[in-house]
Amino acid sequence: MSRTVYVNGDYLPEEEAKISIFDRGFLMADGVYEVTSVLGGKLIDFDGHAKRLERSLKELDMAAPVTMDELLAIHRELVAKNAIVDGAVYLQVTRGSAGDRDFAFPDPEKVPSSLVLFTQSKPGMAYDPKVQKGISVISIDDIRWGRRDIKTVQLLYPSMGKMMAKAAGADDAWMVEDGMVTEGTSNNAYIVKGGKIITRALSNDILHGITRAAVLRFAREAQMEVEERSFSIDEAKDADEAFITSASTFVMPVVKIDGAAVGEGKPGRVALRLREIYLDESCKAGI
Ligand code: PMP
Residues 6+ apart with CB under 8 A from 247: 35, 36, 37, 44, 45, 49, 88, 209, 210, 211
Could you tell me the fold of the domain covering 130-285? Answer: D-amino Acid Aminotransferase; Chain A, domain 2 (3.20.10)
The number of the ligand 1 atom at minimal distance from the alpha carbon of 48 is: 15
pLDDT score for 246: 98
pLDDT score for 136: 98
The CATH architecture annotation of domain 4-123 reads 2-Layer Sandwich (3.30)
pLDDT score for 217: 97
pLDDT score for 258: 98
pTM: 0.97
Closest alpha carbon to 78 in 124, 33, 40, 41: 41
Average pLDDT for runs of 10 along the chain of length 287: 94 97 98 98 97 98 95 98 98 97 96 97 95 98 98 98 98 98 98 98 98 98 97 98 97 98 97 97 93
Residue 275 CB: number of other CB atoms within 10 A?
A: 22
H/E segment holding residue 192: strand 188-193
pLDDT score for 223: 96
18 is catalytic: no
Tell me, using a 6 A CB cutoff, whether residue 181 lines ligand 1: no
| Dist. CA 105 → ligand 1 center (Å) | 27
Closest alpha carbon to 34 in 50, 47, 21, 45: 50
Domain boundaries, the chain: 4-123, 130-285
| Dist. CA 211 → ligand 1 center (Å) | 8
Orientation of helix 68-81 relative to helix 46-59, angle to 10°: 130
| Dist. CA 124 → ligand 1 center (Å) | 21
pLDDT score for 143: 98
